[in-house]
Structure 1
Amino acid sequence: MSSLRLALVQKASSLESAENRAALAAVAGTLEPDTGLVVLPEAFMRDFGAPGSDLAAVAEPLDGPFVAALTAFAAEQRTTVVAGMFERSEDPERPFNTLAVVDRDGLRASYRKIHLYDSFGYKESDRLVAGPVEPVLVDVGGFSVGLMTCYDLRFPELARELVDRGAELLVVPSAWVAGPGKVHHWRTLATARAIENTVYVAAVGQPGPRYTGHSLVVGPAGELVAELGDGDHVLAASVGRDALDDARATNPSLANRRF
């Protein structure tokens, strides 16, 4: 396939998992025809809640109600979905921060967040377990999609490893905490990951007031394909193989590396 239509769903999740599952019905009505990949934010299954609150109590297995709801949504819309959830781990007090990739047949892949947000006064590792240091890719509509979550965006080595393994599109579901300079960091890091790897970046976040919103798609030459402001919205965009090939022919920085 020469192009892939995306829908980035910038929507706040609540503290009630059932409400977030039910919200998928409203998302369905916003999708354009032939949308091949729907990307929901980090923690869409259930918001993080107040700092220090118990996430183990709300975590689910990968065959639980949230993934079942995603599967039903994907089957109805004939699409693939990426969404953030809290997944039970072997630690009874700390689950994983996981991305589930689902199509009409069920779970395709899962990525457990590698870099936990122990920064800017937060300590995500107090409540969550880091995933294994193993990049995860999945084929969607003929495009190789690499998975990253929120704080992962600040670590160029993960993006580069995904691209070395064939990623053409980096998908970054997030709950990017608001604060001074944070929108600037978000835009800059998403753009940098695209430029340095000559790859598409589709980064979707929850909106304010707690988070920054500004979901965006950046092209492989660093061009801004589309961006939202704040609030609940769905961003539609397409990624294309021709633009990817052109960027890599014009700027063969991956081939010119010496380290």
Structure 2
Amino acid sequence: MSSITIGIVQAGFDDLPAENAGKAIDIVRKNYKEAHIVVLPEYSMLNPLKIGDPRLVYSYSETPLTSRYLTEMAKLAGELGVFILVHFIEKTDTPPLTMSTSIIVTDRGEAIPVYSKMHLFDAYGFRESSFFKPGDAPGKIISIKGVKIGFTICYDLRFPELYRITALMGSEIIIVQAGWVKGPHKEEILDKLASIRAHENTVYIVLADQTGDMFVGRSGVFNPWGYRELDLGWREAYAEYTIDTSLISEVREKLPVLQQSKNKWEIRRLMQ
């Protein structure tokens, strides 16, 4: 079996990419110990919901090949010898819409897009579709230290089919980058959804959420039994957590839901 140490950044981020990059770099550089991958939350490059104007968001967006934001993250990744999962506001050729994209920055400076958000947050009075084009496919499965990792973003948590697909594609850990907006019972809902997605798919869920005046925080780790193993609370924080995948095998032996899934043949067809 394999193990992997994941660093989770929980913080509040503002409007400008340069300022947000500086804050993320400062947090990680001061607190990093031995993580193999560090996860930043959703909207950690810039926050469209705070900015409010899709045209202004588009003007701040970047392309991966020429991004100053990714260049700064690549310097940090190389300095520490770590992978960094960033949330990137990606410029498109259909202004003012951008893409909400998860990108892994490797310790060699490569920027690897792994997922673009499929389910946009058009709820509770917000309309992410005013800012973003939706992604059209589940994320890539990436192996780090022999552990297979899948990727989702925030509102995706409300769509169990994406997590089942990602688990059947081989994920042992599914990372959720979130900007979970505050509201009545929203903390409890986030906790329950992450717990259920972990248990019903017998995977670890690693949640990196923003905090501050707009978001609930409560980042952490949920094991395949659905129990929360790490809770970062409500304040800005950084934590590293080591996951041993032997528990996944143990849970899947006792609870073989992925083997019993009636739609796994369709998932395999999609993967061909």
Query: Is 2:127 the counterpart of 1:123?
Result: yes
Alignment deviations for residues 67-108 of structure 1 (CA, whole Å, 9 cap, x no partner) = 111111111111111111210012121100111111112113
Contact (CA 8 Å) 1:176, 1:212: kept in 2 or not? yes
* Cα deviation, residue 257, structure 1: 2.5
Instruction: Give 1:25's aligned residue.
Output: 26
Is 1:104 matched with 2:107? yes
Does the residue aligned with 1:70 lie in a helix, a strand or coil?
A: helix
Give the distance between the partners of 2:183 and 2:212, measured in 1 at CA.
10
2:61 is aligned with 1:59: yes
Residue 136 of structure 1 and its aligned partner are, at CA, apart by 2.1
Letter matched to residue 221 of structure 1: W
Asked if 1:83 is matched to 2:86, the reply is yes
Question: More displaced, 185-194 or 106-115?
Answer: 106-115
Distance in 1, matches of 2:97 and 2:106, equals: 27
Indicate yes or no: 2:73 matched with 1:70: yes
Query: Could you tell me which amino acid in structure 2 is paired with residue 248 of structure 1?
Result: R
Structure 1 residue corresponding to 2:197, chosen from 193, 197, 201: 193
Residues 101-180 of structure 1 mapped to structure 2, 5 A cutoff:
101-105=104-108, 106-180=110-184
Q: Is the 8 A contact 1:135 1:161 kept in 2?
A: no
Asked if 2 retains the 8 angstrom alpha-carbon contact of 1:154 and 1:189, the reply is yes
The Cα offsets for residues 34-74 of structure 1, whole Å up to 9 and x where unpaired, read as: 21110000111112224345311110111211111111111
Contact 1:227 1:235 in 2 (8 A): no
Cα distance in 2 for partners of 1:73, 1:168 equals: 27
Task: Tell me the matched-pair count.
Answer: 258
Structure 1 residues 192 and 211: CA distance shift in structure 2, 3 A: same
1:115-172 deviation per Cα after TM superposition (whole angstroms, max 9, x unaligned)? 1101111111011111122432211221111110000111111111111110110000
Determine whether 1:245 maps to 2:254.
Answer: no
1:12 Cα offset (Å): 1.1
Rounded Cα–Cα distance in structure 2 between residues aligned with 1:242 and 1:149: 26
1:109 alignment partner AA: P
Two-structure CA RMSD over aligned residues (Å): 1.4
Contact 1:13 1:46 in 2 (8 A): yes
- Contact 1:4–1:238 at 8 Å: present in 2 too? yes
Distance 1:231 1:19 in 2: 19
Q: TM-score, normalised by structure 1?
A: 0.95
Task: Identify unmatched segments of 5+ residues in structure 2.
Answer: 264-272
Question: Secondary structure of 1:255's partner?
Answer: helix
* TM-score using structure 2 length: 0.91
The residue aligned with 1:46 is 46
Partner SS, residue 42 of structure 1: coil
1:7 maps to what in 2?
7
Q: 1:229 to 1:134 in 2, by over 3 A?
A: closer
Q: Which has the higher helix share?
A: 2
One-letter amino acid matched to 2:30: G
Query: Quick check: 2:152–2:177 contact (8 Å CA) kept in 1?
Result: yes
Q: Would the aligned equivalents of 1:84 and 1:100 in 2 still touch at CA under 8 Å?
A: yes
**Residue 220 in structure 1 maps to residue 224 in structure 2:** yes
CA distance in 2, matches of 1:76, 1:212: 31
